[in-house]
């Protein structure tokens, strides 16, 4: 599933094609994805100028001049492709929605598994939209500080469950939670309310680092995700634990210890971690964490 860095990368790819442009034609090839398409999808955006594009969590929001916005969620396998309209690109397999703009761009939404969503809402009504209203804080926003993370962790739930809870922090997914916890040397199953302030401060820094680094690398391509030009992301090459079960832990290897990445299941999802670097008990001092964080900063 595309997570925050992948959606942000797609959004940046869409901007040159859509911003300031009008929608001149649309093709809708089926009535629904995970939810039905809104009945006015074919008419409301038509001949309207796009005034801006935004991201909220894993949602792409396209604003039109007449006060409506289009919401796109890519689900598990959704992809958006941009092609020059004059190339007469034939419809792709599983292409459910196609938009043409007045700057001769053809934007196609492909979603083989159809877990995605497209909807329309009036600007200013984000807080009432069922998919947006309960979303938590944006982790890359200035408002997301260690001071905001501390009260979110006032629960006996595991720290991994807390980080994946979209009502608390919006946009984090399995890949980047596993990577941030590894870099912060925090076991994913530890109770969130047992973490020290120093550990949460360290984790907060790594959440920001990992998301920004992944955006800089164009996201992680594991299966379906590609940029709007069809190119894959590169951040999967920099994963230290995710998808690396049985391989050597890079930190332990550097410190000449023998430890391999393990996989366990939490809330039905795979968690990757190093049992040596990520102990279940609190054990690191702030200074030690700071040193270790510095050693991993190039991630």
Binding site for Zn ion (CB under 5 A): 249, 251-252, 259, 274, 276-277
Annotated ligand binding at 113? The verdict is yes
Q: Which is nearer to Zn ion, 24 or 238 (CB)?
A: 238
What is the smallest separation between the CB atom of 235 and Zn ion, expressed in angstroms? 20
Locus of tokens 């968690």: 271
What is the smallest separation between the CB atom of 241 and Zn ion, expressed in angstroms? 9
As given in the structure block, the two tokens for residue 110 are: 């492909």
What is the smallest separation between the CB atom of 238 and Zn ion, expressed in angstroms? 16
Contact 99, 107 (CB under 8 A): yes
Q: Which is nearer to Zn ion, 104 or 259 (CB)?
A: 259
Which candidate, 72, 41, 44, places its Cα nearest to that of 56? 72
Active site amino acids? 2-3, 58, 269
C-alpha to C-alpha distance for 55 and 5, rounded to whole angstroms: 10
What is the smallest separation between the CB atom of 198 and Zn ion, expressed in angstroms? 20
Q: How far is CA 64 from CA 79, 260, 274, in A?
A: 22, 51, 47
C-alpha to C-alpha distance for 28 and 298, rounded to whole angstroms: 44
Which candidate, 78, 95, 106, 109, places its Cα nearest to that of 17? 106
C-alpha to C-alpha distance for 198 and 200, rounded to whole angstroms: 5
Locus of tokens 């054990």: 283
Q: In this chain, which residue has its C-beta nearest to Zn ion? A: 249
Which candidate, 162, 112, 116, places its Cα nearest to that of 139? 162
> Binding-site residues for DNA, please?
94, 113
């Amino acid at each position: 599933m595309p997570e925050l860095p992948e959606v942000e990368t797609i959004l940046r790819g869409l901007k040159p094609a859509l911003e300031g442009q009008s929608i001149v034609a649309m093709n809708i090839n089926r009535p629904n994805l995970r939810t039905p398409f809104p009945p006015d999808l074919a008419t409301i955006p038509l001949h309207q100028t796009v005034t801006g594009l935004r991201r909220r969590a894993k949602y792409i929001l396209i604003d039109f001049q007449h006060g409506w916005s289009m919401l796109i969620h890519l689900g598990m396998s959704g992809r958006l492709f941009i092609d020059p309209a004059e190339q007469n690109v034939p419809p792709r397999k599983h292409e459910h929605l196609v938009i043409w703009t007045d700057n001769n761009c053809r934007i196609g939404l492909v979603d083989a598994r159809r877990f995605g969503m497209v909807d329309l809402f009036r600007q200013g009504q984000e807080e009432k939209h069922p998919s947006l209203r309960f979303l938590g804080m944006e982790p890359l926003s200035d408002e997301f500080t260690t001071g905001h993370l501390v009260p979110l962790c006032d629960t006996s739930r595991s720290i991994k469950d807390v980080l994946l809870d979209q009502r608390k922090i919006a946009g984090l997914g399995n890949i980047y939670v596993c990577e941030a916890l590894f870099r912060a040397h925090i076991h994913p199953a530890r109770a969130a309310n047992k973490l020290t302030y120093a550990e949460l401060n360290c984790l907060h820094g790594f959440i920001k680092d990992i998301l920004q680094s992944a955006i800089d690398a164009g996201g992680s391509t594991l299966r379906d995700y590609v940029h709007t030009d069809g190119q894959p992301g590169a951040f999967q090459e920099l994963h230290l634990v995710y998808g690396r079960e049985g391989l050597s832990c890079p930190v332990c290897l550097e410190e000449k210890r023998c430890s391999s990445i393990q996989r366990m299941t939490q809330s039905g999802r795979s968690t990757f971690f190093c049992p040596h670097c990520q102990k279940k008990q609190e054990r690191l001092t702030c200074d030690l964490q700071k040193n270790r964080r510095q050693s991993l900063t190039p991630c």
